[in-house]
Amino acid sequence: MEYWVLALCAISLVACGAGSEQSMAVQSDESGSASFAGKIVKLPDNPPFDAYALATFDEPWAMTFLPDARILVTERPGRLFVVDQQGRKSAAIAGLPDVDYGGQGGLGDVVLHPDFANNNSVYISYAEAGKDNTRGAVVIRGTLQLTASGGELTDIERIWEQVPKTTGRGHYGHRIAFSPDGLLFISSGERQKFTPAQDMQSNLGKVVRLLDDGSVPKDNPFASTGGVTAQIWSLGHRNPLGLAFAPNGELWSSEMGPRHGDELNLVKPGNNYGYPEVSNGDHYSGEKIPDHDTRPEFNAPATYWVPAISPAGLLIYDGAQFADWRGNAFLGSLTDESLVRVELDGEQAEEVARYPMGKRIREVEQGPDGAIWVLEDGDGGRLLKLVPKS
């Protein structure tokens, strides 16, 4: 249905142009990338980019680009779609597991195996139910068989799970990123239970590092301890909803703080990022948490936010379209309804711009042509393509 509406909009500029939005087709740019169709979106504060809305979703959570520039998009209630550069949405991909949808949980991230072009292997995270009203995040991999109208996920294998499962439906984290050398990193939230972030018998409140089949690399910092501890790459995290590698190979993570104190961390092996012992925010109960500077043995964030921005998706930009922004981090802000641009300089980071988007921003990605793409949060969340102002 949506495909035909969009196609009609692309043809008939008058019929679909409503209010502040106008429909238009966009020509190929100088880099020769494919043209795309979309409705131009009026943003609140005249940012240095134009935004085009390509498609809408029911609680979109994550996206990633296929080699042919189509986009995989997850919806938190449990659906996965393929969208092309014209905004045409496939039927929901078949074969996905049932997810525990509710609270902050459901279907989560999707990323491609580094050798996807040859093995069609994708990695997907989601919340699953356990015994006695418990839940936890899981990562699976499967083979993505695409067809003209949609596709199917087959050969599903369980790669990883949060240990232990806990009650509640918050702080799954469950972002996935492959390193430039092909290792699998997963951010794991502390499930709103605080102390697991410092418990080395649990992989909650951690970033874990695995081989692509889910086994543990021998050179992990705690590999010799064995068990779940061997998975741990870094600890003391709260709810790390952003996880991204910079072009120089550094791993960065954005993390929801408690009441204020959101963080951007440079993630290093064996390092402890302090939660819940320290935070530049405080508990929602009003109970104080000592600031990071009281406990120098814990890694302080490269930068932090008081008041909170509630960071979700994270991108370290490396494209040609916004050449001045290469090496900058972009964080999608939920509560501030903005896109936040941060300059990275060694171990330091500094917010340099904030672009109001008028909607909660859940996910940020870079397209193959160097455009910046975002997903709005919630029901009716739009897929937006951001290009330099024409």
Structure-token pair, residue 228: 């779940």
Of 9 and 83, the one with the shorter C-beta distance to Ca ion is 83
Amino acid letter, residue 257: G
Residue with smaller CB distance to Ca ion, 282 or 365: 365
CA angle 326, 29, 370 (to 5 degrees): 25
The residue count for the chain: 390
Closest CA to 280 of 310, 254, 297, 304: 304
Build a one-symbol-per-residue string for 70-99: x at contacts with Ca ion by CB under 5 A, - elsewhere.
------------------------------
Which pair of tokens denotes residue 211?
Answer: 């081989």
Q: Within 251-310, which residues bind Ca ion (CB under 5 A)? A: 273-274
Q: Select from 169, 174, 198 the least CA-distant residue to 275.
A: 198
Contacts of Ca ion in 351-370 (CB under 5 A): 365
SS3 314: strand
Q: In the complex, what is the shortest distance from the CB of residue 373 to Ca ion, in angstroms, rounded to a whole number?
A: 9
Residue closer to Ca ion (CB basis): 274 or 381: 274
Residue 310 CB, shortest distance to Ca ion, in Å, is 15
Region of 151 (left: φ > 0; alpha: ψ -120 to 50; beta: rest) is left
Contact letters for Ca ion, residues 130-159 (x by CB under 5 A): ------------------------------
Catalytic residue status for 171: yes
Cβ 361 to Ca ion shortest distance, Å: 13
Smallest gap from Cβ 234 to Ca ion, in A, equals 11
Burial class (CB in 10 A: 0-12, 13-18, 19+), 21: middle
23, 54, 64, 135: residue in contact with Ca ion (rule CB under 5 A): 64
Q: Which is nearer to Ca ion, 45 or 293 (CB)?
A: 293
97: helix, coil or strand?
coil
Helix (H, G, I), strand (E, B) or coil at 207: strand
Which residues are known to be catalytic? Answer: 171
Q: Which residues of this chain interact with Ca ion, rule CB under 5 A?
A: 62, 64, 273-274, 365
